[in-house]
Amino acid sequence: MTRNRLFAALLTMFLLSAGWAQTSLQYPPDQLLARIRPEGIRAQMAFLADDLLEGRGTGTRGYQLAANYVRAQFEEMGLKPAGENGTYFQQVRFRKIELSRGQTSLTLKANGAERALAIDQDYLLGGDPSATNSTAEGQIVYVGYGVTAPDFGYDDYAGVDVRGKIVLSFYGAPPNFPTAPGAHYSSSEVKLANAAAHGAIGLLQIWGLKQEQRTPFEHMARFFRQPELRWLDTRGTPNDAQPTIHGYAWISSAVASTMFENSGHAWKDVQAAASAGKAKSVALPITATLHIVSRHSEVESPNIAAILPGSDPQLKDDYVVYSAHLDHLGLGDPVNGDNIYNGAADNASGSAGLLEIARAFSSLPVGPRRSILFLAVTGEEEGLLGSDFYAHNPTVPMSQIVGNVNMDEISLLYDFKDIVPMGAEHSNLSGVVEDVARHMNLIISPDPAPDEVYFIRSDQYSFVKQGVPSVYVSEGYQTVDPKLNGQKMQDNWEATRYHMPSDDMNQPLNFDAAAKAARVDLAIGYEVAQQSARPQWNAGDFFQKLAEKTAAGTH
């Protein structure tokens, strides 16, 4: 026996005795899962959500402190840099867009009478990413949800001409669409691109129906008072910009109702038809003038990336990506005297989970068969910008990224009995999740709140659009403690702490649940990394087709 073969045999015996060896099910050994500790999650979160970091706003000093911290953690773990130029950082250039509120206006005109709308009360908007001074003026055409979906035989633009006009649409997608495709078509970027493709010059979105019942329009205003960001390509072009759309705003349902006066269509009937998935598009006897004045500047903010090399000569050039967003909202409007939006759950928790999973993997005597890419991204709160930039400019070939496990607001409220694996149903990742759930005695539940379109609201969506099977696992409503009501606790948190300064380390937090959630994510990624076959989309799946259209430049 050669020295190399003797070493390999001894190593195999050691791994078998230590419980690290691969099994036919590829489920991770207990010793690896035990590396995820509640104390580790808490300690990471305590630093990242500290007031010192001032809410980790993209492009701020506080975010850079967080980025330096994550970089140091990766380096201490012995992970390889996977950013640019041999570093852990991938710098992202952003256009910062600040709305000049006093110079911006939205006016409606009908029957010769003009009505100037009030910002924050009647309409909301950010700046224009393409121009510092823009105007959209034209007739309003109602287009239902503003969706064109050939795969579902649905087109809100059929039978109406919107060239040179301003389209009016409800937020969301037809309620009879499947959950994840419906979430895709709810995306503002998709609606803007569709409006531009049909020749429209402006888009007004109605905040109404179920969304308005859940979140009143006036509560939305605080989300529009901060500058917007768009990542810039090498030519200085902002991402997802539609330069032929000269005006884009959100309006209240109260304002929308006035647009249907004298149209022959009662507002209550319009809402009922949209709620039933039977919206009928129609040109309205009203025009709008939307004038937007913006200030443009540039900031930079890094993604942080590190690699644990794979151990299999045939699979080490494949990558499983763990992602979490490191940013939050930074400093904002004071609430009860506090203007630091610490983002403890959202998303210091996911970043802490990412670091603890990376630490667990780096403790293995032999790495998993595939390489693992750990990615902490910037700009998620600005529209998934850091992950979208990475997906367009990957530091490893995108064709070699086989799967993504994303972590955003990992479980912190209660110990859970069920999980909601968003996106897994579109690929054979569903089988991986089922195996992990079986080992952990967890129940798999469907998305309990499809109207919230969570599937497109976190960073896995950036990878999905590039053809990478992905999953984002949330806890379900079923609690281990029968005295607790999971749905009530989650709804209360959303109402009182989501995107508020009170999402800090002083709130009640269950770090045992957080560690359990991180173990679920670790196990899913481990199984993908160990399996010989790559994850595959289900045959004919909507997102497989979407990725093919994106690659062909036809979507």
Q: How confident is the model at residue 10 (pLDDT cuts 50, 70, 90)?
A: very low
- CA-only gyration radius of the chain, Å: 24
Cβ atoms of 281 and 141 closer than 8 Å: yes
Of the options 3.40.50.1100, 3.10.129.10, 3.50.30.30, 3.10.450.50, the CATH number for the domain spanning 97-296:
3.50.30.30
Cβ atoms of 192 and 295 closer than 8 Å: no
**Better-predicted residue by pLDDT, 144 or 333:** 144
Please state the pTM of the whole predicted model. Answer: 0.90
The 3-state DSSP class for residue 370 equals: coil
**How far apart (Å, rounded) are the C-alpha atoms in residues 336 and 428?**
47
Domain span(s) for CATH 3.40.630.10 in the chain: 27-87+309-549
- Here the tokens at position 424 are 């897994």
Domain span(s) for CATH 3.50.30.30 in the chain: 97-296
**How far apart (Å, rounded) are the C-alpha atoms in residues 358 and 320?**
12
How far apart are the two ends of the chain, measured CA to CA in Å? 58
Query: What mean pLDDT do residues 349-361 have?
Result: 98
pLDDT tens profile 310-343: 999 999 999 999 999 999 999 998 999 999 999 9
pLDDT tens profile 257-268: 999 999 999 999
Of the options 3.40.50.920, 3.40.630.10, 1.10.760.10, 1.10.390.10, the CATH number for the domain spanning 27-87+309-549:
3.40.630.10
Cβ atoms of 290 and 202 closer than 8 Å: yes
Q: What percentage of the chain carries pLDDT values higher than 90? A: 85
**How far apart (Å, rounded) are the C-alpha atoms in residues 483 and 193?**
48
Query: With the CA atoms of 474, 480, 482 and 488 taken in that order, what torsion angle do they form, in degrees rounded to the nearest 10?
Result: -20
Decide if pLDDT at 11 tops 50: no
